[in-house]
Structure 1
């Protein structure tokens, strides 16, 4: 079934399109036209969005961003603007209809309704702000909550925004450990909580849990000064007071603290896959503008809209729901189980409250389908759109739903996340779409699908990773806490260096719409709630009967949602029903009901890598399709070698001479570095399809342990083969030889021999980047011309020219500071006569001596003493523990086009290696293509 808005020309999205056409003299006719303009002309789009959405400010922006030419480091958005998040949330509704209802809230089953008008909302915020200020809470302080989806929770967020405090929330169903892990990282000054909640028809007393969590927080941090109980009873603790006592202050006129666009508004939490949850800090301006864009343009919300989203305060959709107040719409809050007393209650709320926009999940719709009462087709006269979030929406659910609700209602499915507190791909009111699919990327979001090589997938129907390739203003500011910036980079910009990897597995259909296939990382995602295995494992550690464990997510083709499978190895005996019940209860109490596995089974053993990591991805593969792993030990991989590097060092490895490595014996596999793809794997770190760099040797297939592998990533201006050039041994030799031994600096005179070769050409470019004057020595006029015109050398000399020594003397008139030598012999000897006092001679190689019958003896060796010359040889493998440091800098230079890469690919597989060796001394970086691989010819 295909859905289309009945009057797209009357939508605010179409009004925005027309405004852009009028101002910029464009001819944008479709949503696709508008989207292309929004990402191609990102600055203009951001300016128009700011104006169209009516952002309230005290100081207008004069520029959109600083540093928006790349995604990382994060750009600084609207750097000189000053505004306030809460003021923007209240402004539209207060000015348009101050007496209209702004917030409606009920308890489980649609009972105990409360309503606040816009005027009342402002007055209540004023009281909360006054109380916060009286308690000493101010700009930059963290305010934490363990509260239900209530009016008081909304008031706290908006009051925090007023004064520049930073808000964070968790749901009361979170366990002690979950609360402590989150809040000990952000160190709140004050905590608000509900000590009694209603869920599934029962009142639950949370005082003992909250008391235990507070005790642990106090033991680990001394920042918490006060705990305020919003609903329920207090307990015997001098720090704990009731909300009535806290609010017993004289209201002070409301003032909105003016802050920058990128100033924090709230901290949300990641799933905790590899330990404590990461603290994702969001900018008030970024969240505000991104969400207003979605409400106004995608959902066509306005002053008459009523938005009901079922959520808890622990899900980003709660923050999103509060943000919808900024368009002047009314929001509906629900506290309790959406299934009690029946899922049908949710439909009653839609009708009774006149909801126009309903936010739900595929999991709830599946429950509704199972419990739907035939013959009770709801009219839903006011409902315009249903928004599904948290998991992919199946066509089966879509088909059923349109049998029981009016077909005029749009059923939107999208994908976004906590990471950006908004969406990435979504449906919209201009673009018709097939049900079950996601229509298009949101405006301003440059979405691409990449394969594991970092190549863009153009063909429809091909799965890959969802990648964002241009900055967007709701990128997090940082991850709160020590090391937060690096955690942030690793989370999104390490997988495809410099580009946002979102972790969704996605494909584009022939009609241009999208389909989310699930998570491409290891995060568990049952019922749309993301969390990591580390949270489960910490609870299981408390059971002395359990020897080991592993948890994975499973979603089969027939499943509506992912479920968690937990496998346990017992110390002795069998896993019985009583212990299973105890485990389930403990996980529910320590974490939440959503963390409880669907299946708990006993197994004989748990797979590990040799460095101590559980191999979760392999167990997940077995749970999906029973894939065979072959005869591999934990941590081992089977590699298909794609390229081999041909290096001068290979000649030395054949000599039976005392050296840093034993010679390659007759009959042994020739030593060599290769780029390979993982064909089979029992490694968590390197699953099948990973591209790696390794010492594979001269062979087509290699079996290596994960500890011997280096992950290879491709990004802008970085080719796969660069990992054996600029980012390989040649680049490492150039980098450490010049920087660590040569200590090259600005103003130095640097001479490079073998300058047109793989290492010399990189060394010369690095020296130039360090501010040196560079003289290159090569073996032909053509190579010399290339060094100067293409690589930027200052001077290049042909050592075969008859007047070479004369030209060399002129070129080194100011004497040599650094001599980087790849050749040795007579040129090295003569260079000593041109050395400056304390010159550094970096001995990388001596290709002139490899086949010499007698080695060349230095005649000018006394210059070393008299001029205090330091001459030092080095082996690049000695720097292996610093390769990442070099690759970080070299990759930046590569991406920025500051270093040029030169490589020659020799075809013919291993048989082509002989021809490649013949070209070893011709001044080229040689690679042998060993194996063909699908898509290899399309590498960047």
Structure 2
């Protein structure tokens, strides 16, 4: 049976997951900020039997209702036999309009004093994870009990040096794989700190006050958060006592050189900064930290232990010091055991094994360095190809992130005159305009610090940049929009209205 959570990041969410998996049920979760269609695209495929939800959630201190949304969801998924409601925004929520609903406390057994754990086989299913779904229905990736536990414990104990006495925090929602990764810290005996809501509420230093008060030793977040923190002028190391802190982890997108420097200058000199990268597909990482190794600016410290990770060139040969395709050339424990509903395995095969037969191709563009580190250059499907030379978008973002005039940006390749030209859209920071002078500055900086091939043919100001619900920038959706193609699943986006600007732009017709 499948048990699902439409839940904020709260203790009851982890309790529900542990209870379900102790029975041998399969757990899956979404964040309550998902729209109804986004939830139906996921849970509608996997047909759960029990749904856990809170009555709502908070954002910037404001309560938002989930009960009405749940009513719309369960009408479309007849497999749901029981709804368990966790009171969160109110003490006694009205659940009278939800069929077969019960409050969390009433669902618990008040007399139970032990848990009878079901003994599972290594390859029995544990989680169903979902892809972002920006190109159609999300992939439903089923991962095994033993595979996830072994893979995540390796990453926590060996790559993060997590110990029983540690307190670990990761800024995540229940709809992102970092939530599953964080919960595995319980298997080490470490203490978890959970945070739900906007990380800049009530102020931009909110998470660092929490880190001080809770004596957090491992602090996990995203590259986007670190950039926003720097832009806001927060100096955590000067404002708070972070003496307990030993590691900062960053994922979600490549961490820029300037933000490596920011962490060491403004958070703490003596810590391990581990930029890490992997995906929901493996519920872990391909490249991540090494507590006993050096940290090089702009690099992930090492490839994962027990992972045969290479950068493959177009002829399928491993290369060092060159941008190439991230592959894993041997099976690894946490790879999906199957995709839900993929009876003949064809979707699984086409997702990873079409490029190089028998070799997992992940869809990231990377470079393995001479000393064994990894530099990330963005998604393969977002790489630019001007003049037939593949270049990663991350190289341009690294330059743009350092410019105070820009709040955000998105880079795409536009098909033009039998070639590809680089188009840069910029969201201006407050108080700045996209002048000719600034455009010249951007082009000169990219030319000097990346390469002439990276220089955009057009720079256009935009009101917003579209992201997935898990805060991944969606270059592919922007590219499709500017080329007049349909973006099939806008419900996978956090701000789908941002795409409207990019359609039919006059500037791109010449």
Query: Under a length normalisation based on structure 2, what TM-score does the superposition of the two structures give?
Result: 0.76
For the pair 1:601 / 2:502, whether they are aligned, the reply is yes
Distance between the aligned counterparts of 2:483 and 2:311, measured in 1? 39
Which residue number corresponds to residue 226 of structure 1?
82
Which residue number corresponds to residue 500 of structure 1?
360
Which residue number corresponds to residue 226 of structure 2?
365
> 1:252 Cα shift?
6.2
> 1:435 Cα shift?
2.3
> Quick check: 2:342–2:348 contact (8 Å CA) kept in 1?
no
> Which consecutive residues of structure 1, in runs of 5 or more, have no partner in the other structure?
1-140, 528-551, 571-585, 606-621, 629-940
For the pair 1:410 / 2:272, whether they are aligned, the reply is yes
For the pair 1:144 / 2:4, whether they are aligned, the reply is yes
Q: Which runs of structure 2 are paired with 1:233-632 in the superposition (5 Å)?
A: 233=93, 234-247=95-108, 250-251=111-112, 253-373=114-234, 376-457=238-319, 459-460=320-321, 462-483=322-343, 485-521=345-381, 562=473, 565=478, 567=481, 591=492, 593=494, 597=498, 600-603=501-504
Please state whether the residue corresponding to 2:18 is helix, strand or coil. helix
> Quick check: 1:567–1:600 contact (8 Å CA) kept in 2?
no
1:285 to 1:595, Cα distance in 2 relative to 1, 3 A = farther
> 1:486 Cα shift?
1.8
1:143 to 1:563, Cα distance in 2 relative to 1, 3 A = closer
Q: Which runs of structure 2 are paired with 1:675-686 in the superposition (5 Å)?
A: none
Which residue number corresponds to residue 460 of structure 2?
none
- 1:554-588 alpha-carbon deviations (Å, 9 max, x no partner): 79969998465384799xxxxxxxxxxxxxxx96x
- 1:161-207 alpha-carbon deviations (Å, 9 max, x no partner): 21101100000000010111111111101111122111112111122
Which residue number corresponds to residue 71 of structure 2?
211
Please state whether the residue corresponding to 1:449 is helix, strand or coil. strand
> 1:235 Cα shift?
4.0
Please state whether the residue corresponding to 2:77 is helix, strand or coil. helix
Q: Which runs of structure 2 are paired with 1:159-238 in the superposition (5 Å)?
A: 159-218=19-78, 223-231=79-87, 232=90, 233=93, 234-238=95-99
1:561 to 1:554, Cα distance in 2 relative to 1, 3 A = farther
Q: Which runs of structure 2 are paired with 1:618-767 in the superposition (5 Å)?
A: none
Mean alpha-carbon deviation: is it higher for 313-322 or for 378-387?
A: 378-387
> 1:360 Cα shift?
0.6
Distance between the aligned counterparts of 2:168 and 2:288, measured in 1? 17
Distance between the aligned counterparts of 1:394 and 1:374, measured in 2? 18
> Quick check: 1:173–1:591 contact (8 Å CA) kept in 2?
no
> Quick check: 2:130–2:139 contact (8 Å CA) kept in 1?
yes
> Quick check: 1:379–1:405 contact (8 Å CA) kept in 2?
no
> 1:389 Cα shift?
0.8
1:257 to 1:563, Cα distance in 2 relative to 1, 3 A = closer
- 1:484-504 alpha-carbon deviations (Å, 9 max, x no partner): 622111111122111000111
> Quick check: 1:363–1:561 contact (8 Å CA) kept in 2?
no
> Quick check: 1:225–1:239 contact (8 Å CA) kept in 2?
yes
Distance between the aligned counterparts of 2:369 and 2:16, measured in 1? 43
> Quick check: 2:252–2:472 contact (8 Å CA) kept in 1?
no
Distance between the aligned counterparts of 1:248 and 1:441, measured in 2? 45
- 1:366-410 alpha-carbon deviations (Å, 9 max, x no partner): 111122346944331000000001110000111122221221111
Please state whether the residue corresponding to 2:502 is helix, strand or coil. strand
> Which consecutive residues of structure 2, in runs of 5 or more, have no partner in the other structure?
384-392, 395-422, 427-441, 451-464, 466-470
1:251 to 1:344, Cα distance in 2 relative to 1, 3 A = same
1:293 to 1:282, Cα distance in 2 relative to 1, 3 A = same
- 1:862-904 alpha-carbon deviations (Å, 9 max, x no partner): xxxxxxxxxxxxxxxxxxxxxxxxxxxxxxxxxxxxxxxxxxx
> Quick check: 1:360–1:389 contact (8 Å CA) kept in 2?
yes
Distance between the aligned counterparts of 1:554 and 1:260, measured in 2? 50
> 1:511 Cα shift?
3.1
> 1:343 Cα shift?
2.3
> 1:439 Cα shift?
1.6
> Quick check: 2:273–2:295 contact (8 Å CA) kept in 1?
no
Q: Which runs of structure 2 are paired with 1:751-830 in the superposition (5 Å)?
A: none
Structure of greater relative contact order (alpha carbons < 8 Å, 6+ residues apart): 2
Distance between the aligned counterparts of 1:568 and 1:300, measured in 2? 46
Between structure 1 and structure 2, the one with the greater Rg is: 1
Mean alpha-carbon deviation: is it higher for 503-512 or for 410-419?
A: 503-512
Distance between the aligned counterparts of 1:591 and 1:423, measured in 2? 23
Distance between the aligned counterparts of 1:567 and 1:592, measured in 2? 14
> Quick check: 2:83–2:99 contact (8 Å CA) kept in 1?
no
1:596 to 1:512, Cα distance in 2 relative to 1, 3 A = farther
1:237 to 1:293, Cα distance in 2 relative to 1, 3 A = closer
Which residue number corresponds to residue 17 of structure 1?
none
Distance between the aligned counterparts of 1:456 and 1:242, measured in 2? 55
> Quick check: 2:368–2:374 contact (8 Å CA) kept in 1?
yes
Please state whether the residue corresponding to 2:173 is helix, strand or coil. coil
> Quick check: 1:553–1:562 contact (8 Å CA) kept in 2?
no
> 1:416 Cα shift?
0.8
Distance between the aligned counterparts of 1:509 and 1:422, measured in 2? 21
Distance between the aligned counterparts of 1:319 and 1:484, measured in 2? 28
> Quick check: 1:377–1:405 contact (8 Å CA) kept in 2?
no
Query: Under a length normalisation based on structure 1, what TM-score does the superposition of the two structures give?
Result: 0.42
> 1:595 Cα shift?
5.2
Please state whether the residue corresponding to 2:501 is helix, strand or coil. strand
Which residue number corresponds to residue 818 of structure 1?
none
> Quick check: 1:426–1:440 contact (8 Å CA) kept in 2?
yes
Distance between the aligned counterparts of 2:112 and 2:120, measured in 1? 23
> Quick check: 1:273–1:522 contact (8 Å CA) kept in 2?
no
> Quick check: 2:129–2:280 contact (8 Å CA) kept in 1?
yes
1:145 to 1:484, Cα distance in 2 relative to 1, 3 A = farther
1:420 to 1:373, Cα distance in 2 relative to 1, 3 A = closer
> Quick check: 1:417–1:423 contact (8 Å CA) kept in 2?
yes
Please state whether the residue corresponding to 2:498 is helix, strand or coil. coil
Please state whether the residue corresponding to 2:381 is helix, strand or coil. coil
Distance between the aligned counterparts of 2:147 and 2:483, measured in 1? 47
Please state whether the residue corresponding to 1:518 is helix, strand or coil. strand
